[in-house]
Structures are given as C-alpha cells and as structure tokens.
A and B are shown apart, each in its own frame.
Chain A
Amino acid sequence: MNIEQVKERAGPREFGPSDEMPEPYRKAATRMIQFHANSEIMGALIERPFIRQAPSLERKLAVSAQVQDEIGHGQLLYRAAEQLGVKTREEMLDELADGRGKFLNCFHYPLDHWYELPMIMFFVDGAAMRRQASLKRTSWEPYAHAIDKICFEEGFHIKHGEDILREIATGSRRDKELLQDAFEKWWPRILQFFGPTDDDSTHGGFAQEVGLKTMSNDDLRNAFLNAYLPKAEKYGLEIPEYPRIEYDESRDHYEIENSDLDWAEFETVSKNEYPPGREQIDSRGRRQEAVDWVREAIMDDSTTAVTGTTGAAAD
C-alpha cells in the first residue's frame, strides 16, 4: 500500500499486522503509540509515592491497583507498537530509560503532596480519557484494541480521582486552600496537555490524514473544557484569571489566550530537558539499570512467563 491508498482507505480499525503498511505510516504510528506507552509508565511513576502516602487502607489498595493498571497499559501499548515492526519493546524501554523516549507534559512535574494527586487522577486522567476515547476509532487496529481495555480501566481511575477530590474539597478550610493552590499550579499544565493549537501542530496533520488521530488538539481541548470546567466549579475550585479563556457561544468553543501559557517551558518539557522532570527520568533510569542483573540472570530462560520479552516482532 502506498500513502495515497492508506489515506483513501483510512478509517476506524482499518489496518492491522497483516497489511503491508508504508514506512511513514508505521513510523508515525510507532511514534504515537510509543509516546502513549511511555506516558503510562511515567504517569505510574509520579503516582507511586501515593501508594505509601495514601491516608487509608482503602486508598492504598486503589492507588496500588491504579499504578499496576498503568504499567499494564504500557505493556499492552508497547505490544501494539511492536507489531508495526519499527522498534522492539526493549528498544522503546531503553529509550525511555536513557531519556530519549518522549511522553506527556504533565508527567514531567513531580507531585509534592496528596492535594496534588487529584490534579493527575481526575483532571489529567480526564483529559487523557477524552483523547483515548477518540482513539477507539484509530486506523491501527492493535492500538484501538489496547485502547478498549485502557478506557475501561481509566474510567475507574477517574472515579477514584474524583472521590479523592471530593473528600479534600469537603475538608477543612486549610484543605480547600491547599487544593486551590494545587489547582492553580496545575491548571496551565493541564491546558497544555493537548499540545499547541492546531495551527502550530507538526505531526497532527499527517496522523489525521491516515486515520491514526481522529480529532484535532483544539477539538479535544474544547471537549475537555466543556466537561471539566463545570466539574472544577462543582468542587469549589476557582478557575484562575490567567491563562484567559474566552467562551464563544456561537461556536460552542473555548478560546485560550495562547500567549498566557508558557510555551517555552512546554518546549523544554517536550525535549525531556525540564530539570525536575529530567531528574525523574534519570532516577528511573538508574533504578532500571540497578536491576539489569536480574534481566541478565533470566535472559537465557526459554519461557516468557516472567520476562515476557519475546513478543511476536521482538526481532
């Protein structure tokens, strides 16, 4: 298949491992799915301290299960990406460990305490859900298949995140103040979650033409704001004055004043060069390196029950 044929046929779940896909498609799909897989792993990483710091046994169980689910999503997505034949899972995990692998902006920022957790578990996961729901119609079938399971589990995560948010929002005055502080700190990052506006997006055009992406960044951000601005208000959160958001009733559209957002920082984050984020990437890399000996010790074993490293396209 050449690119023109791909563009013509592009539709929900249209292509799979049995199709001869042209290199630009395979590369674009790999970049997109690898980015998603990396984001699951790094999302799990910033939530992990809250397994320990959760203030009840119920919450501990839920946060532990959530972190586990996210690692499981990473596993599924790397498998879906591997099937494109561009990179093996090991290569993608190596890239993540040594700082070449890219992932979502929000997961570059460490969480300071429990009050920040719902910013990830409710707002960021809510934003992710918007994007993921649109990917049920992506043209790479193995990706869409992974998305089905991910969306199902993510629904529970958001419910749990909302429950934590509700609990804090109905706490003492100090709890509410700390929650508002966390919201103001995270709100601009959450608005940047969907990336630059469509005009500035570099990969969006091609990915949409070949059906990998089904909605534009602007439409996704808009859908998110439609759903989550009322939710934020419901929990007593005040939407900060800046960045300015104008609602255009005639188009049912939110217009964000782009110059109010720090796109230079976003750029630094995207390159894995934002120092606190970089430190998280590197410390994870060192942790991974410290268990290299385990992978080496079990490498010769023929079964994949423990290692699972020999996927269909591993070579």
Chain B
Amino acid sequence: MTELDPRDLSETEYAAVTAELETLADDQFVVAERYTDWQTRGPTLEADIAVANIAQDEYGHARLWYDLLEDLGHTEQELIWERDPASFRHATLLELGYETGGWADCVLRGYLYDVFEQLHLGALEETTYPRIADRLGKVQGEEGYHREHTESWLDRLTEDAAPGDEALVRLQAALDRLYPHALTLFEPTEHETQIVELGVRSTPLADLRGDWLAITTPFLGGLGLDVPDPELPESGVRGRDGTHTDDWERLYNEFTYTYEMLDREPRKLLVDPDEVGG
C-alpha cells in the first residue's frame, strides 16, 4: 500500500489519519486521567507509586500522539483544552469514575485496556503513515510492562481465593460493570472505512475484538471469574463516535477547570483607565 506523505495529505487522508490519531491519543489521555485518581489513594505506598508511574507513561503516550496531530496544524488548546467534549474519541471504558475502594475496577480495567492496546498497536505495525510507525516501538515497550503489572495484580488478588471471597466478589462486580464498556474499545469512528482502505491501520478495530476475546476470556476464567456475554452498553453510548457517559462530562469539567479560570480577564478590564500608563 502507498505510504502517505504527511506534508501532502488529501482531504480524505487527512480525516482518516486525524481520526486514528485522536483515537490513540484520547484513549491514552483518559486512561491516564483515571489512573491518577489512585494517586495518594493506593492500597500500599508501593501500589501508589506504581500507578503514578503508569499514569505518567500514558500521559506521555498521549502527548506523543497529540504531537502528531500538532504536526497536522492543531494546537494542544484545540486538541484538549478547548475541544468539544462530544468530539473525544476514547472508549467509554476509560472514562468511568471509580467507586471508593474500587481497586478491583482499577486493575481489571487496566488489564482489559492493556490487552486491547497491544492489539491496536500491533495492527499499526504496517501503517502507511510513517510518523505513527516511528513512534510505535517506544509505546509498545511500555505497554508490555503495564500489562504485566495489571496481570500480576489480578493474579495476586485471586491467588488461593475461594468462591465468595471478597476479592473475587469485587472483581466479578467490576467485570460485570466494565465489560459492556470494554467492548466500546472496538467501536469505529465514522472514518473507519477510510482508515483501513488507506492502510493507516490495516485491520478494522472490529476484527481485533475476536483476538481480544481469545486472550481475555480464558485468562479471566482462569482467575475464577464469569465472563459476561459480549454486549455493548444498554444506554447506547459508544465512545469513539462522541457519545459518552455522564462520568465523562464530570471528568471533562474537572480537568478543564483551571484552564477555564486562568487568564480569563473580561475584555473591558484591558482598557481600564487605571491601567493606562500605570
């Protein structure tokens, strides 16, 4: 397939590359944002530090993908701070708030996302967009470590657990709640056909779902969990098409709070006579 020229993209190519980069960047940004919910709240000091490490890796990856969007002429302001919350393309799995004490949710969500992320990045190895190819290796290395971290936590929580033990009950409740939202990871943006046809990503996201189920189902079953039927959220939210849960709106309002507050001087104050010549 023809390699795309970042400096000379047709309108269709531009839209496809943008949608794929937004999907990558927004997933990472929002997953990082939620990991930081656990900073200072981890079950041990060591868990706290590990979660902070992962959050910073994910922010770093988000920045790397947002950088590629900046190369296409966007600014960080447009890509994050002044962006319409209904145009973010992350999966709804990543935006959900945690219940107090919901460490099971944290590590399980991390695992479900990490497996997806590895498949997603794998599907980009043949990308026709050279700038994505350049950055893939670094991200893949770190994501491998994240998956080890979440898998090892899931193992530890369920080790020697008998049915009815608190850890298992909590993990099962988290799985039931998260599972439909995890499936939104495989939902397309409106540019999916062009993304695949132009080879930005050679495999449709929907095709990664089978691989994901083949990995996660036996692993979760092995922990003693019942994997629900794969059904999308009943509420109809799908994430990558811009439909999100109420948790997203709250999160968005929180992370844009300072940005909105800073430097928002009403225009008339700029010509306040007291300031003139002062």
Chain A residues at the B interface, C-beta cutoff of 8 Å: 41, 44-45, 48, 50-57, 60-61, 64-65, 67-68, 71-72, 74-75, 78, 113-114, 168, 171-175, 284, 286-288, 290-291, 293-298, 300-301, 305-309
Contacts of B76 in A (CB 8 A): 56-57
CB distance from A214 to the nearest CB of B (A): 28
The 14 listed contacts between A and B (C-beta, < 8 Å) are A41-B40, A48-B40, A52-B33, A53-B255, A57-B80, A113-B261, A173-B269, A173-B275, A174-B263, A284-B40, A291-B41, A298-B157, A301-B159, A308-B44
Contacts of B243 in A (CB 8 A): none
Is B123 an interface residue, CB under 8 A from the partner? no
Establish whether residues A75 and B46, one from each chain, have CB atoms under 8 Å apart when the complex forms: yes
A172: nearest chain-B partner, CB-CB? B265
Contacts of B44 in A (CB 8 A): 294-295, 306-309
Question: Chain B 245-270, CB within 8 Å of chain A: the 1/0 string?
Answer: 00000000011011101111100010
Question: Chain B 159-170, CB within 8 Å of chain A: the 1/0 string?
Answer: 111000111001
B260: nearest chain-A partner, CB-CB? A55
CB distance from A125 to the nearest CB of B (A): 17
Interfacial residues of chain B within 80-106, with CB under 8 A of chain A in the complex: 80-81, 100-101, 103
Which among B58-66, B127-135, B201-209 touches the partner chain?
Answer: B58-66
Which among B48-56, B113-121, B139-147, B212-220 touches the partner chain?
Answer: B48-56
Secondary structure at chain B's binding surface: helix, strand, loop or mixed? helix
CB distance from B274 to the nearest CB of A (A): 10
CB distance from A300 to the nearest CB of B (A): 7
Interfacial residues of chain B within 21-64, with CB under 8 A of chain A in the complex: 29, 32-33, 36, 39-49, 52-53, 55-56, 59-60, 62-63
CA gap between A63 and B109 in the complex, in Å = 24
Establish whether residues B42 and A75, one from each chain, have CB atoms under 8 Å apart when the complex forms: no
CA gap between A44 and B152 in the complex, in Å = 26
Q: Which 8 A-B pairs have the closest CB atoms?
A: A290-B101, A68-B52, A294-B43, A172-B265, A291-B43, A55-B259, A297-B167, A114-B258
CB distance from B146 to the nearest CB of A (A): 15
Establish whether residues B159 and A171, one from each chain, have CB atoms under 8 Å apart when the complex forms: no
Establish whether residues A71 and B40, one from each chain, have CB atoms under 8 Å apart when the complex forms: yes
Contacts of A174 in B (CB 8 A): 263-265, 269
CB distance from B50 to the nearest CB of A (A): 8
Establish whether residues B36 and A51, one from each chain, have CB atoms under 8 Å apart when the complex forms: yes
CA gap between A175 and B41 in the complex, in Å = 31
A71: nearest chain-B partner, CB-CB? B48
CA gap between A156 and B110 in the complex, in Å = 30
